[in-house]
Structure 1
Amino acid sequence: MSLNRMVAMLNEWLWQEQYWLPPGIRWQDIEMKDEDGRFPMPRDLLITLPLAFAFIALRYVFERIIAIPFSKCLGVKDRIRIRAPPIPKLEAFYEHVSRQPSQSQVVSLGRQCGLSQRKIQTWFRHRRNQDKPSNTKKFCEASWRFAFYLVSFAAGLGSLIDTPWFWDHKECWRGYPKQPVADAHYWYYILELSFYLSLLLSVSVDVKRKDFKEQVVHHIATIFLIGFSYAANYVRVGTLVMLVHDSSDFLLESAKMFHYAVWTTTCDSLFVVFAVVFLVTRLVVFPCRIVHTTMVLSRDFFQPFFGYYFFNVLLLVLQGLHIFWAYLILRMLYKFVFTGKVERDERSDEESEVDEHEEEGEEEEPEGKEGERNYKQRKETINSKLTSLANNCVLNNLTNQRNLNIRLRKAR
């Protein structure tokens, strides 16, 4: 079978009208030009893949030319970590078996390398800490997402503020699916989809957080949601969905940036604003306005079809993720209101705090040349402890700044 015939069969199966369009509507019915805009077609989405790689390249340039110098201006500092000495057998075990060996494995490795169990445990602790991302890396990632979300939100709001469906959601469906798309909304869609594709492509090298799996599900659901809604000409309601998400995302990323720079007051203020905006937009506006208009109001204008159910399922998946993240945020706010402090950021990086604290408090046994390095290592661990205390949590310093200063003086 020739390649052209295979592509033709795939297109015929994938783009069947009953999947994408309401009953009685054919692709030929919307293949027309209009002076006020264009009618979206699935083939328009092919440009998003090269644009996704362009975003990855742009991010690389942005982080090195803008983000890194900006991090230095804000005073972002990286922890000084003790490097694990090169031991081939331990390195091979770390890379291919486990990063956290069991007690029996520690005993076996100690016999193979002629080291004590304490030395083996210390080596693995130092080796794990070497792989943890630096504050500068995390700051660069947050600043890149902040820049995109801020520009996207401002551009999206500017393009939608004068549209009738921004104020009356019934206008999302009036005349559907023969609704021309303005160039501004076309590029709003294409660039958003390209950006989320770039995030999914680079997720393996980005900083992993505790909600890593939820983030991957979010990116995949968002890509399907944007792609399908464009092909089915759900563009009007789709622009509202993207605007709602962008409205709080740039606030979260800005709070992270100041958190890594230890601008505690600014970080805490931005986080509180983010929490309010997130809870209002994701738990009130999104389900009560957007999901309601797609599930209820749309049925006044067309009969349900496959695309109707598929689109609403994706929206409900996003809503489930909103509830999960709202739970984490509310738990932080609860601790702050009723206990006066928050022990840690509920969406913090996937790092082992135990490793850090153990590394800070440990004392190396002086053996030969290692004894000569103890003074430098103790000095480095003290610096690491100071940094760890300063970065303890998002809201802690609102109520405990005075106690923190006392602890810092004692640590010195």
Structure 2
Amino acid sequence: MYVGVRIPSVEVTSAASGRMSSVLDKWLWHHEYWLPPGITWKEMEDSEHARYPRPRDLAIAIPYAFVFIAVRFLFERFIALPLSKHMGVREKSRKIAPSQPTLEKVYATQNTCPKKSDLLALSKQCDIPVQQVTAWFRHRRNQDRPSITQKFCEASWRFAFYLLAFVAGLCVLLDKPWFWDQKECWKGYPQQMLLPSHYWYYMIELAFYWSLLLRVSLDVKRKDFKEQIIHHIATIFLIGFSYCANYIRVGTLVMLVHDASDYIMECAKMLNYAGWRRSCDVLFVAFSVVFLITRLIIFPNVVIYTTFYHSMEVFRPFFGYYFFNVLLMILQLLHIFWAYLILRMVAKFVFVGKIDKDERSDDEESDEAEEVEDGRMESKSASSTNHNGVLNKMTNGMRSKSNERNKLPKASSSL
């Protein structure tokens, strides 16, 4: 039974290790959770002619995640940064907060956005007007906000990965019978051989999401920061579960369906940061079409249908069957919700000619974010000062109550 690599231990700890292994065998790797009735881990052992997925394989994604982080650093510095200059990305001028040690200490250790009562106290302490204290904190916050170039570089990195992942997925799946006939996903299940191309497809996707999780604290901070963490963890969990249960044929289809639209969105963001409004609008329309087709037509009618019905022609239901299908249904409900938000944006663009806000964007802060004036939040309207096209609010992060309710986590590669 495959529960991981056996690590030699001293005689003193061998009994404890045995008990731990027994607990894992009983509560985590029990074959009834992961495999159909009548199949045990012993029947999934490798042979001279076949290799099957093993839980311990997933450990390789961790070191590869650090490789992704290193490659990303080099990519952003030597490719994305020169590209941003070539495409005309321009930084907005920012006012530098004057030296105020007392205010700086409060900003760094207590609160970056003090309340009105705190502002009054700081005003007396520093012997300057309240309006000046308010302006100092606003300028100081703006200094810490990420630059447009940084946002462009991050979008470039995601665009490069999603595009390569989508192309690689096509290369891996186009010649496979289950790409054209989904009943083939279950032929011989669960004793389906693990192909090297599928192994690397899974490990690369898993390592990429590990790298996003490890880097999330250093990336551009968005208002859906917690949602991003939850999404990355959920994605890692789902990829791992489908691998261990040998749902790999279906899993590759799911990853391909999601990667199909993500690189278009990231490219549209790049164009928006560079100020290429018309091209950005065209790509957003293309993204909307691809998203609606892949998430509302192909995903439910191909992927979910085969996991619900075609699989039952091969085996009886078990825990993994119910668990995996419930997760797919939850994902489909999210697709419907996101599609509704996208269609609202498209309708405004077609009939009104502009969009007041991005219903689907990951909300980012910028220099035009909300300002604190006398303890009240006063939102600036970006549409009154510039015309940034369809993705204006996607990338300039104007805060609104609607966006607080309608956060879009990065669900693109979730299984």
TM-score (norm 2): 0.83
Relative to structure 1, the CA distance from residue 394 to residue 256 in structure 2 (aligned partners, 3 Å threshold; closer, same or farther) is same
List alignment gaps of at least 5 residues for structure 2.
1-11, 374-381, 394-415
Distance 2:272 2:21 in 1: 52
Shift of 1:135: 0.8
Q: Which aligned pairs between 1:18-167 and structure 2 lie closer than 5 A?
A: 18-33=32-47, 35=49, 38-167=51-180
Distance 1:220 1:321 in 2: 17
Aligned partner letter, 1:31: E
Distance 1:218 1:238 in 2: 17
Q: Which aligned pairs between 1:278-297 and structure 2 lie closer than 5 A?
A: 278-297=291-310
* Counterpart check, 1:319 vs 2:356: no
SS at match of 1:133: coil
Distance 2:189 2:63 in 1: 30
Aligned partner letter, 1:336: F
Deviates more, 1:49-58 or 1:12-21: 12-21
Shift of 1:357: 8.0
> 378, 391, 394: which is aligned to 2:391?
394
Distance 2:367 2:289 in 1: 28
Relative to structure 1, the CA distance from residue 34 to residue 298 in structure 2 (aligned partners, 3 Å threshold; closer, same or farther) is farther
Shift of 1:66: 0.8
Distance 2:98 2:22 in 1: 58
SS at match of 2:113: coil
> 248, 261, 266: which is aligned to 1:248?
261
Aligned residues: 369
Relative to structure 1, the CA distance from residue 295 to residue 214 in structure 2 (aligned partners, 3 Å threshold; closer, same or farther) is farther
Distance 1:249 1:42 in 2: 28
> 221, 231, 242: which is aligned to 1:229?
242
SS at match of 1:389: coil
Relative to structure 1, the CA distance from residue 395 to residue 65 in structure 2 (aligned partners, 3 Å threshold; closer, same or farther) is closer
Aligned partner letter, 1:309: Y
Shift of 1:11: 3.6
Counterpart contact for 2:123–2:133, Cα < 8 Å: yes
Distance 1:48 1:6 in 2: 27
Relative to structure 1, the CA distance from residue 392 to residue 276 in structure 2 (aligned partners, 3 Å threshold; closer, same or farther) is closer
Aligned partner letter, 1:16: H
Deviates more, 1:312-321 or 1:295-304: 312-321
> 365, 371, 374: which is aligned to 1:351?
365
Relative to structure 1, the CA distance from residue 323 to residue 221 in structure 2 (aligned partners, 3 Å threshold; closer, same or farther) is farther
Aligned partner letter, 1:32: D
Shift of 1:128: 1.3
Distance 1:390 1:336 in 2: 13
Shift of 1:334: 2.0
Aligned partner letter, 1:296: Y
Distance 1:6 1:339 in 2: 67
* Counterpart check, 1:209 vs 2:222: yes
> 299, 307, 314: which is aligned to 2:320?
307
Distance 2:202 2:322 in 1: 21
Distance 1:136 1:59 in 2: 15
Relative to structure 1, the CA distance from residue 137 to residue 353 in structure 2 (aligned partners, 3 Å threshold; closer, same or farther) is closer
Deviates more, 1:279-288 or 1:255-264: 279-288
Relative to structure 1, the CA distance from residue 314 to residue 275 in structure 2 (aligned partners, 3 Å threshold; closer, same or farther) is same
SS at match of 2:386: helix
Aligned partner letter, 2:212: L
